[in-house]
Amino acid sequence: MGVTRQKHAKKIMGFYKHNFQFREPFQVLLDGTFCQAALRNKIQIREQLPGYLDGTVQLCTTRCVIKELESLGKALYGAKLIAQRFEVRNCSHHKNPVSGSTCLLSMIEDGNLHHFFIATQDQDLSNKVKRKPGIPLLFIIQNTMVLDKPSPKSLAFVQKLQTNQLVPEYQKQSIVELKEKEGLVKQEGEKRRKRKRAGGPNPLSCLKKKKKKTQEGQEPSAEKKKRRKRKRNR
């Protein structure tokens, strides 16, 4: 396994772990085309994939994938034997099996809650997987398994998260609880303080001041009293 390819895979795994909460064991859903390519290129999926993803792996498929391989006859008999060794995940097509690609797409609906990887050689299925954010895609080139780089849809989703345009519900709840703990959320019924609005000048200050009478021409009250007393004494 090349050092460069290992670093490439480690960087991509870090992206999905950090932004989409992928954890071990990594669940990898494989279809018949991937099993056939692994058989043709002599790839030991169970032995090589954990080392490539740098973690424990659960290889799984669905009943629809196995049914599809059975219907294709001897040409894909070896791929069917490989798929039958994996864990079978329950799908919603018990009574009416669908194609492997349709079944795998149904397994990653509603935001890929089980954090599945999709392993396929089907180009049409790969394109549909890339339209959904947060779904790692595996394929085989020659005799090498490759983890595809994050799709534009995944990158756009993460960018929105970073700019707070799209916040998951569990993060919103955590933010509210943190604000309540720090006392940043106002209690219900608490009255907001009204800000004083800047008004005009005080109307009393606009009144004209009365002129003070000068002492000239006025007699003090004490002087008037003395004169009145003198007149009476006379």
- For residue range 206-217, list pLDDT tens digits in order: 666 555 554 545
Please state the domain count of the chain. Answer: 1
Classify residue 146: in a domain, yes or no.
yes
Classify residue 151: in a domain, yes or no.
yes
Classify residue 194: in a domain, yes or no.
no
Q: Which domain holds residue 95?
A: 1-155
> Mapped to the 3 state alphabet, what secondary structure does 31-82 carry?
CHHHHHHHHHCCCCHHHHHHHHHCCCEEEEEEHHHHHHHHHCHHHHHHHHHH
Classify residue 169: in a domain, yes or no.
no
Classify residue 105: in a domain, yes or no.
yes
**Which strands form 137-141's sheet, in the order they lie side by side?**
87-89, 57-62, 26-30, 116-119, 137-141, 144-147
At 145, which CATH number?
3.40.50.1010
How far apart CA 69 and CA 52 sit, in angstroms, is 27
164 or 33, which is more confident? 33
Classify residue 131: in a domain, yes or no.
yes
- pTM, full prediction: 0.70
Report for 98-112, 179-193, 218-232: range of highest mean pLDDT: 98-112
Classify residue 160: in a domain, yes or no.
no
Classify residue 165: in a domain, yes or no.
no
